[in-house]
A and B are shown apart, each in its own frame.
Chain A
Amino acid sequence: MLSPLVKDIELFLNDKPSIYALRKKAKDALLKSGFPSSKTEEWKYTNVQQIIQTNYQIDTTNQICSHHCCDHLPTQDFIEIHFCNGKIHLEEIKTPPGLNIIPLPIVLYENEYKNYIFNSFDLEKHPFAALNGIYLEQGLCIHAEKDFHSSTPILIKYKFDNCDNQQLNIHNLFILEKNAQLNIIEDFSTTNTSNFTNTVNEIYLKASAHLEHYKKLSESPNGIHIALNGVKVHEKAFYKQFYFSEGTQISRQETIVNLEQKEAQAEIYSAYKATRQTLTDITTNINHIIEQTYSSQYAKAVLEDDSSATFQGKIYIAPNAVKSSGTQLHKALYLGKTATLNCKPELEIYADDVKCSHGASSGELDKEQIFYLQSRGIDKKEALKILTTAHLEELFSFISNPKIKNLFSK
């Protein structure tokens, strides 16, 4: 057997044959590619053997969560959607006209969204996304119609509090039609469970669409989190991602962005605290497929003793992607001497007349700054906290919406 993660998918056989076909497609891809080993280049620094060998359980009892466990009052600041232990929480979600939020189990029964599934990435190249596809069931589709604009962000809260040793696969579609504008926030905060979360977001931005996609990951020290964002960006559309992570035992956030049409643009900001005995992996893959496409990536890290972090950023510029630009910057702050950082930029440039750059810097806390704070009565521990937060603060300043900023600086 491949891995105890791949269970009997006949469990889902009473679904529509077309859904089963999707799951089968994912399973075939995984059987073909296999799980990453230490020799798999893209996973070289993140050892997943422990995950593959764990017999995580799959809960197939309900398609949705219909308990009152996370009923909540509607707020004016956000349109809130809750997932309880990996299942979408059933409640009435008030959405403005032009915005559709549909649970995945329903989406799977409709033909309209079929072409958006497994279309933003290659199943055979992403074994965990393929694993996610085998269990295709949980998730949601956010669809903003043409010209839809809203200043109210969508907040998706994923809560895990009763799912030790479970494998939770969540598959979302974010589709923004022409000229639509949206902010989506994903908030993963586990209290103390040892589950394995495996998420895939497929994101499609049509011409001139504008998506700000935020994600906050602060799961338990026993949690495993593997995530893939597959993003397709059309003409003059803009994808902005802001990722904050802290404290998860193993976390990998991978983002593939395909800048498919002229003047498509992507910005990716990552701020992470690699805490003791955790492994943080941020992998990006930006594909400039056509001329005049732009991308920039900026990551800042705080590395505690005995932590590991990997930042792999690949920028690919196709032969005809002239007049494009791709930049990448990683700045690390070491709090001790025993942290490991693998910072691996990869530039594959096949076109002339492009602007590309990458840079990495690392340093320790400034002793003069620690002294200044201490000399004002602030104790050393607190001073260190202030200064590490300050290191990441620069990235938080790129969040323009104060309500979203508040969520992140808490």
Chain B
Amino acid sequence: MNIEVLRDVQESIKADANDIRAALDVQGIRMFNLMGGDGCGKTRLLERLLPKLAGDVRCAVLEGDITTTLDAERIARVNVPVVQLQTNGCCHLEPSLIRGGLDRLPLNELDIIIVENVGNLVCPAEFDIGEHARIAVLSVTEGHDKPAKYPLLFSRADAVIISKMDLLEYTNFDLEQCARNIRLVNANAPIFEDSAEWKLDPAFLKWLAAMPASCA
């Protein structure tokens, strides 16, 4: 006998994520999901961004990694509250882990939480973790074809950062082709260029600040 079901496979994860988002909305906190391949420069970006925001915006970080607390130690050095989330072999973060991390943060003293997801272009994109916006990071050393090869991450991104621009001249990375590949799956997300040797793009800082808390 055939039974019609028509249920979203991720219904319970989405419900958990929506609960997290609603709880953050009540607190007036915006949460960002920072995603990108391993080593694309996510933590390095945070090390530069967080001191820049200090004073204006109260930030905290949830660091997702398969193992080790190395990234959380780097964030702690810039004096920002940080919780290391270890997935113990799992390739992505899910709402249940995020909830545990949020419980350990001083939520009533925060404006922004940035979650650094596990370095991986595939799996993290599949899971809503209760964020308000997603930031995809792609380094020029990974190649301009990646948005076409890993479309889900880029299709769901609210902003894309092309990182390690100082290395552009040593690669065959084609910025125009990359933008075209992003536009194949994402018509609107702003694309920012960045390098650890540059100042942060003011347009990116403006984008971060403009994202209101309830715009899930």
Q: Are A and B subunits of one complex?
A: no
B positions within 8 Å CB-CB of A: none
